[in-house]
Structure 1
């Protein structure tokens, strides 16, 4: 009972201030709400193990880091979209239906990548979006090559599992491109 009351009091006291800070940095109502919600969820989940000396300072540093993570995801997403458009976009844009299907598939891929653990997302992005080799990534991140390979495999497995329902969209796009090119 005491933990619930204390958490509610912390939430009541700091939610608006944290939201305003997150909103001022992101300019997005939804992003700011999600950032604050994630911080409080993490705080609740670690309530028995977290040792916080200055609560207000901790909470506002958490907002700062969550905002940075938000922009990190935005940059990775933008790079991914640019890479996909560079490969397929010019050919796909002939048909509005194809373009919409491509956008839907692309959005789902980005959603999946953003759901990876931080390390897997970083390694997967370096490999699949930036085109770096396993050896380059291992040297860059000071990791064994087997660890890099593991994270790439985990990322691919995760994508395959979450994109099963989009296989029809992918084949429709591929077929449409092949028909247009006369293959």
Structure 2
């Protein structure tokens, strides 16, 4: 996969602690056709047009003192070629990769493109979000979602210290709220 491969992007946070173990870059892809009721990120569903190349994302990752990258959305596995290329680049750079997806492990394994997309992932958190089974923390969002440990880079205990919620204030005053607890602010 070439570094010229690209992804439709909703947002990138260069450093976060609420989206996986350690300090990590979080990438929200744009576009999702799954339509999970109560989704945390409904603004990521429409396709959108903001593209970043894999090379651009790897440059951001290389400039930060991070342990890895979390890819979420939107639905990462609806952009399998870009995800596969990003994963390969992260692996070459020695960075970890966690993918949060609404597809189940069975759906991933049944589709060669999706399976290629998760090839470099250390952990895949898989399954549709279910509002009635909502959880805070541990990256799952809802109790039905499963962990698919693809390498030994991370262990379940690594998720214990991940904050449920994080508020990041940018240099320009922009506030980003991220994590696995859908906050009510008002």
Greater relative contact order (CA < 8 Å, ≥ 6 in sequence): 2
TM over 0.5: no
Which has the greater radius of gyration?
A: 1
TM-score of the aligned structures, taking structure 2 as reference length: 0.25
The structure with the largest strand share of the pair is 2
